[in-house]
């Protein structure tokens, strides 16, 4: 609460980032995790879950754009989108920018994250919370995918924490089996896979798991300023081949049809294609190309 | 010197990275700067100049590959390369991987950086220090470019610190004027331009300055794990157009001819092309495309 205090991220025990804090806005122990929101000097408001940076107002656009636009545009005709996690509402907002999306279901396990995001980070979700195409459920994403009907969604976005703590069950065989079942033909799932320079096992392990249930598995990258350690990876798994190599011109045409071309600060059709070009130090953690 | 001490990078006053230190290896106040080398728990050995991380054993490959291979391969026939700074020897090593390079001159102002790098980071420069094509000069890069003959080099790589302290004079009109003079027709200069999410002015200001002396100015990006804050930019300025858009197949053929294809951990022909695709939040700091 002082004006010269620092918050150290605790994701890695011996390296990490720190922020000077203007003032703390919220500190809540929910049923699931420790939630902290503070006003930083450099990045606007920052939300941490269990000591790990989830989002800052300054750079949220990078992560939100890159976990949303590549899967929707690689698919090309996504109408029904399921989002698991993403309680701040930023992914929901980006999904709804695609005018061809008819239904976006968001399942966030921790209602406190939603409540605090609406109160302290209202710009991140914006008007998405009240969009008639959106259905926001406070509940267990694992449970939701178990109960959802077959082929109910075109794209599934898993915006979870790392596979420790509350996010762990989103990286299991059972989860991916259900994900494959509830995705329609042509569908794909995307989930955040950490920063491979620091967490290579996360990408490697979850890629192998996805490969059990999907014939086409890969990853793409984004340079998120506050997910420190170089590129973060977004793992994808698809029912059809080629979604990682859609030509730039096709992506551009789809983005124009979706009505979201020109709305972005990180994503472009060229950045989209480029994100799938993995440096060898990352590519070696993926299973042989399917 | 204790086993539970931390080093906080001081580049930005209110945000940054910190490393837990196994032990300090060297701490020298040279005629130019404060040089510190320590053994980290996470990134191998780390070198700081005036409190700013310059290089770590763990991730040096990203920066060294990306400041070297794109300019040499975009040029396509680079034989004579001038390196300013880069006292650790890592850029020199990458330049000499190109078998068509006949002469690589490296001018580092601080002999203490070279001495300490050879002693504590010997793997970074490797055998480059004794390569017969290499000429290592301890001296002032500004002075060198003033005295060098016209059209003496094909590529000029400026691996300086940020434009504060000792690196400042490498970002002046006078420096770029001489750079243009000593580059042969078809030549280009590359220099590091910081992390635009945190230091956007650095890219904007130096791009405008380069544009006074070169007709074709731009930038490309790399995600360097310990240059925290998202993409860093490498600014380039060229005498001929199109060097930022050489097709992937051409780059691959040149890399094969140069004998360095398959030696890299970050760079590939596809990553090369992709690096020039700038996110809008970065592109807007560049002058209109020339």
Q: What is the mean pLDDT of residues B32-48?
A: 96
Report the pLDDT value the prediction gives residue B165, as an integer from 0 to 100. Answer: 60
Do B28 and B92 lie in one domain? The reply is no
B19 part of a folded domain: yes
Q: What is the mean pLDDT of residues A131-159?
A: 97
Q: What is the mean pLDDT of residues B152-163?
A: 88
Do A9 and A125 lie in one domain? The reply is no
Distances (CA, A) of B174 to A49, B168, B169, B264: 50, 12, 9, 35
Q: What is the mean pLDDT of residues A70-75?
A: 98
Domain with A21 in it: what CATH number? 2.30.140.10
A288 part of a folded domain: no
Residues of B in contact with A228 (CB under 8 A): 17, 225, 228-229
Residue A173 pLDDT exceeds 70:
yes
Residue B2 pLDDT exceeds 50:
no
Report the pLDDT value the prediction gives residue B163, as an integer from 0 to 100. Answer: 62
Do A68 and A186 lie in one domain? The reply is yes
Report the pLDDT value the prediction gives residue A289, as an integer from 0 to 100. Answer: 65
Q: Judge whether A23 is closer than 8 Å to chain B, CB to CB.
A: no
Under DSSP, the state recorded for B241 is T
Report the pLDDT value the prediction gives residue B290, as an integer from 0 to 100. Answer: 47
Do B36 and B159 lie in one domain? The reply is no
Distance from CA of B181 to the nearest CA of A (A): 34
List CB contacts of B39: < 8 A, sequence separation 6 or more.
Answer: B21, B22, B23, B24, B25, B45, B46
Q: What is the mean pLDDT of residues A104-123?
A: 98
Identify which has the larger pLDDT, A162 or A128.
Answer: A128
Proportion of chain B above pLDDT 70, given as a percent: 95
Q: What is the pTM of this model?
A: 0.95
Report the pLDDT value the prediction gives residue B253, as an integer from 0 to 100. Answer: 98
A290 part of a folded domain: no
Domain with B138 in it: what CATH number? 3.40.50.150
Separation between Cα atoms, residue B100 and residue B259, nearest integer Å: 9
Distance from CA of B205 to the nearest CA of A (A): 21
Separation between Cα atoms, residue A22 and residue A42, nearest integer Å: 10
Q: Judge whether A230 is closer than 8 Å to chain B, CB to CB.
A: yes
Distance from CA of A270 to the nearest CA of B (A): 6
Separation between Cα atoms, residue B272 and residue B257, nearest integer Å: 16
Q: Judge whether B245 is closer than 8 Å to chain A, CB to CB.
A: no
Best residue of A5, A255, A277 to probe chain B, by most B CBs closer than 10 Å: A277
B289 part of a folded domain: no
Q: What are phi and psi of A63, to 5 degrees?
A: -65, -45
Residues of B in contact with A270 (CB under 8 A): 277
Do A119 and A38 lie in one domain? The reply is no
Nearest to A62 among B59, B230, B273 (CB): B230
Give yes or no for a contact between B5 and B21, defined as CB atoms under 8 angstroms apart.
yes
Give yes or no for a contact between A24 and A5, defined as CB atoms under 8 angstroms apart.
no
Rounded mean pLDDT of chain A?
94
Do A50 and A177 lie in one domain? The reply is no
What the block records as the tokens of B184 is 């042969």
B40: nearest CA partner in chain A: A14
Do A66 and A45 lie in one domain? The reply is no
Rounded mean pLDDT of chain B?
94
Separation between Cα atoms, residue B200 and residue A125, nearest integer Å: 27
| End-of-domain residue from the set A19, A38, A56 | A56
Report the pLDDT value the prediction gives residue A164, as an integer from 0 to 100. Answer: 59
Do B45 and B130 lie in one domain? The reply is no
Nearest to B228 among A13, A17, A278 (CB): A17
Residue B38 pLDDT exceeds 60:
yes
| Per-residue confidence band for A1, with pLDDT thresholds at 50, 70 and 90 | very low
Report the pLDDT value the prediction gives residue B1, as an integer from 0 to 100. Answer: 42
Give yes or no for a contact between A67 and A159, defined as CB atoms under 8 angstroms apart.
yes
List CB contacts of B266: < 8 A, sequence separation 6 or more.
Answer: A279, A280, A281, B61, B62, B65, B66, B222
Do B31 and B86 lie in one domain? The reply is no
Do B15 and B107 lie in one domain? The reply is no
Report the pLDDT value the prediction gives residue A224, as an integer from 0 to 100. Answer: 97
Count of domains observed in chain A? 2
Q: What is the pLDDT of residues B206-265, one digit of tens each?
A: 899 999 999 999 999 999 999 999 999 999 999 999 999 999 999 999 999 999 999 999
Class of residue B247 by CB neighbours under 10 A (exposed 0-12, middle 13-18, buried 19+): exposed
A88 part of a folded domain: yes
Nearest to A280 among B43, B268, B281 (CB): B268
B288 part of a folded domain: no
Residue A290 pLDDT exceeds 70:
no
CB contact under 8 Å between B40 and A230, yes or no, is: no
How many CA atoms, within 13 angstroms, populate the side-chain half-sphere of residue A54? 27
Nearest to A271 among B43, B58, B277 (CB): B277
Q: What is the pLDDT of residues A203-248, one digit of tens each?
A: 888 899 999 999 999 999 999 999 999 999 999 999 999 999 999 9
Report the pLDDT value the prediction gives residue A167, as an integer from 0 to 100. Answer: 63
Q: What is the pLDDT of residues B81-100, one digit of tens each?
A: 999 999 999 999 999 999 99
Do A83 and A41 lie in one domain? The reply is no
CB contact under 8 Å between B61 and A268, yes or no, is: no
Q: Judge whether B38 is closer than 8 Å to chain A, CB to CB.
A: no
Report the pLDDT value the prediction gives residue A2, as an integer from 0 to 100. Answer: 46
B40 part of a folded domain: yes
Is ipTM over 0.90? yes
Residues of A in contact with B38 (CB under 8 A): none
- Its domain, for residue B150, covers 60-283
Q: Judge whether A147 is closer than 8 Å to chain B, CB to CB.
A: no
Q: Judge whether A273 is closer than 8 Å to chain B, CB to CB.
A: yes
Residue A140 pLDDT exceeds 60:
yes
Do A50 and A64 lie in one domain? The reply is no
* Distance, CA of B186 to chain centre: 20
């Amino acid at each position: 609460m002082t004006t010269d205090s620092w918050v150290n991220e605790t994701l890695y025990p011996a390296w990490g980032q720190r922020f000077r804090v203007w003032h703390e806005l919220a500190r809540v122990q929910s049923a699931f995790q420790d939630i902290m929101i503070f006003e930083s000097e450099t990045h606007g408001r920052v939300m941490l879950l269990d000591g790990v940076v989830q989002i800052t107002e300054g750079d949220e656009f990078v992560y939100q754009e890159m976990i949303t636009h590549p899967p929707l545009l690689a698919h090309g005709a996504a109408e029904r989108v399921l989002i698991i996690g993403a309680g701040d509402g930023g992914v929901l907002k980006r999904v709804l920018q695609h005018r061809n999306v008819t239904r976006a279901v968001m399942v966030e396990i921790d209602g406190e994250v939603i409540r605090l995001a609406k109160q302290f980070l209202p710009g991140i979700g914006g008007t998405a919370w009240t969009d008639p195409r959106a259905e926001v459920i406070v509940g267990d994403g694992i449970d939701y995918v178990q109960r959802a009907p077959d082929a109910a969604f075109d794209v599934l976005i898993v915006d979870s924490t790392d596979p420790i703590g509350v996010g762990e069950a989103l990286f299991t065989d059972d989860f991916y089996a259900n994900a494959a079942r509830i995705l329609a033909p042509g569908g794909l799932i995307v989930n955040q896979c950490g920063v491979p320079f620091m967490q290579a096992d996360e990408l490697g392990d979850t890629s192998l798991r996805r490969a059990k249930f999907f014939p086409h598995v890969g990853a793409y990258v984004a340079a998120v300023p506050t997910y420190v350690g170089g590129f973060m990876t977004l793992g994808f798994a698809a029912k059809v081949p080629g979604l990682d190599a859609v030509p730039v011109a096709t992506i551009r045409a789809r983005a124009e049809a979706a009505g979201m071309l020109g709305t972005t600060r990180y994503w472009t059709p060229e950045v989209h294609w480029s994100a799938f070009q993995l440096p060898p130090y990352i590519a070696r953690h993926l299973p042989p190309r399917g």
